[in-house]
Amino acid sequence: MNIIVAVDKNWGIGDKDNMPWSIPEDMKFFKDMTINKTVVMGRITFLSFPKQLPLKNRQNIILTRDENFSVEGAIVVNGVKSLIEFVKDINEDDVFIIGGQSIYQTFEKYCKKAYITKIDYEYEVDTYFPNLDLLDHWEISKIHDIKHTKDGIPFTVYEYINTQI
């Protein structure tokens, strides 16, 4: 499995159940990476999507403990074990953990690769991604070119490898 996430200077990822920023170029990177693949998300991240619709052209899996929750066009699973069971027949490179905080924290250890867009700015945030630079099992494997938002804020994709998998 892979992780894909955008973080600010302090590894912040969200505020009040939404993303604190909008960076079209990074959204395109997210789309290019996940198109025709499987994306796994928590219920709160799913509900933040426009019109609360699953992402197009991807197999959407939503985690919730609510056994009555259902969404047309998405698969709903109620726990870590069910998720692992569900994805075991899918090529591991084709599964992306896409957030939010609780899902990243739970599944980080199961992921081989992480695509982290680091945004060089401090936003107001209330949710975080684990700082991979403080975890011994994650190593940077590639750094993409620096780009800039329309406001001139630099951002760069870092690829990390989990050396324990």
Ligand X SMILES: NC(=O)c1ccc[n+]([C@@H]2O[C@H](COP(=O)([O-])OP(=O)(O)OC[C@H]3O[C@@H](n4cnc5c(N)ncnc54)[C@H](OP(=O)(O)O)[C@@H]3O)[C@@H](O)[C@H]2O)c1
Residues at the contact surface with ligand X, assessed by CB under 6 A:
5-6, 13-15, 17-19, 41-45, 48, 63-66, 78-80, 98-103, 106, 127
| Residue 37 CA from chain centroid, whole number | 13
107: which residues sit within 8 A by CB, 6+ positions away? 1, 3, 40, 80, 83, 97
CB of 131 to ligand X, least distance (A): 14
Closest CA to 38 of 1, 6, 10: 1
Place of tokens 């780009």: 147
Place of tokens 């209330």: 126
The nearer residue to ligand X, 120 or 163, going by C-beta atoms, is: 120
CB of 38 to ligand X, least distance (A): 15
How are the residues of the chain apportioned to helix, strand and coil, as percentages rounded to the nearest 5? Answer: 25, 35, 40
CB of 65 to ligand X, least distance (A): 3
Place of tokens 């870092």: 158
The nearer residue to ligand X, 59 or 76, going by C-beta atoms, is: 76
HSE-up (13 A, CA, CB side) for residue 114: 30
The nearer residue to ligand X, 48 or 92, going by C-beta atoms, is: 48
CB of 107 to ligand X, least distance (A): 9
CB of 95 to ligand X, least distance (A): 15
The nearer residue to ligand X, 31 or 136, going by C-beta atoms, is: 31
